[in-house]
Structure 1
Amino acid sequence: MSFTENAWKIFNQSVEDYHIKDDVNSQESNPFQTGSLEWILYSKNWIDTVQWHLEDIIREEDIDPSEALKIKRRIDNLNQRRTDLVEQIDFWFFKKYENITPNSDARINSETPAWSIDRFSILSLKIYHMSIEASREDASEEHKLKCTDKLQVLLEQKKDLSSAIDQLLSDIENGTVKMKLYKQMKMYNDESLNPILYQKMQKK
């Protein structure tokens, strides 16, 4: 089984587990060994799934502004946790391939493995929800046909992205691509980097 086949299986397990209750306040019950790559992938997708539904809720036209602000704060927190997990995935691959000496002409990929995997995780959610829309009984035939067309595009994207990820990992393994780690350096959650936050702290 290729890496992406296994990752896709884990992502879909997470999505299915979430939708048992379909509640943004449900507790994650990760079935994998803590700290394993499988555990990280599952947890990453669980966060993506919760965030997906929070993004739906916050777009309710009549939502109370104070409730919307709470959700926005929660989304910010999830974004930070998501970034941390993506960086853990990259670190896992970095350690796996640390003894490989890249070729002298090895290239640098524009995107690390984990950020491609991040898109792969979100794609599993797009396909899950578009599949529902394509067969929704209370929707018009026009709606279902449009969603079926979109679903086919997403499935093609899944095929292409899985191939690209597996190829990237293979290229790192055989030395034709050099893997480097980069921290995302998110600034908005850091009281020392966000001017709104540090100016407020200075006034105290």
Structure 2
Amino acid sequence: MNFDKIFVFTDFDLDGTTSLLALHWALGAKPGQISFKSTTVSNFRREYLNWLNEHKPDAYEKIYILDLDVSNSIDLVDRSNFIIIDHHLTHVKAAKEYKNASIHVIESTSCAKLLYSKFTPKITTEQKLLIALANDYDSYALTIPQSYELNCLLTNMQKSAGSQKAEKFMTRFYDGFKGFNAQEANIIKEHVTLKNKTISELQV
């Protein structure tokens, strides 16, 4: 597979980033082999139009859109080489409007879980755990303590030259979730402490 002919747009949050990683597992790609852009639902249309200034959609065999309700941009993305995977109910209701793109828009607790159930069945226990953590956080169940902590870590991952947060996350957790190292535990602790301090000092 020629990964240079693939591009991905995904939500910047934990579910979107884990979905991006799950897609790498499904396609057999390593972090850095597939170009992508992390964005948000509200920013997608503007950022996609900016992307068009330097890219031609027809130059790609497949363009994936993950964890984003882009139903307000059907005029831009309803093309035969687009594969749209999403779980939001608002998108499910609009899915019938697509005529050309390959649509996998199904209501689910998370896009990562949807990707796992449809495209990535053969993964390790540790990789399944990472999917479970993203699903737990995105569904607001919060039954697994590490899901909140994993989101804290992603939020606080610093961008470095030529590297997006999502790429750093994928590199770190490509083999799945095996716990946090000491440095990560400290980052999470500082984040939680600061959040609690902010809440305690809030005057309403």
Q: TM-score normalised by the shorter chain: which range applies?
A: under 0.3
**Greater relative contact order: 1 or 2 (C-alpha under 8 angstroms, separation 6 or more)?**
1
Indicate the structure with greater strand content.
2
Select the structure of larger CA radius of gyration: 1
| Greater per-residue helix proportion | 1
